[in-house]
Amino acid sequence: MAQLRSQRLNGKVALVTGAGRGIGYAIGTRFAEEGAHVVVAEIDQATVYQAAEDFSACGTEALAYPIDIGDIEAVQKMIA
C-alpha cells in the first residue's frame, strides 16, 4: 500500500460498501491513505478481510464487516 498522502481525514470513519474489489476497493484505499478509519462492507468473505488488511497497511484502522447490503435487516443491524 502507498504511504499516507495526508492526514486530512484523520479521526474520520468511512463506511465503504463493495470495498473488497474494484471501485469500492479504490475508494477504500484512498480513504485509508488520507487517514480515515475504514469499515469494509463486503459480501465476499474472501475479499473483505484482505481489503481490511490492505487498508490497515496504510497506517490506519480498518474493520472487515462481511454483509449483504441487499439485506435491509443486516444493514440496520450494522448501523445500529
Q: How far apart are CA 71 and CA 31, in angstroms?
A: 25
3-class secondary structure, 72: helix
pTM given for the model:
0.86
Largest alpha-carbon pair distance within the chain? 37
**pLDDT tens-place string over residues 22-67:** 999 999 999 999 999 999 999 999 899 999 999 999 999 999 999 9
pLDDT of residue 3: 54
Q: C-alpha angle with apex 2: 52 to 11, nearest 5 degrees? A: 60
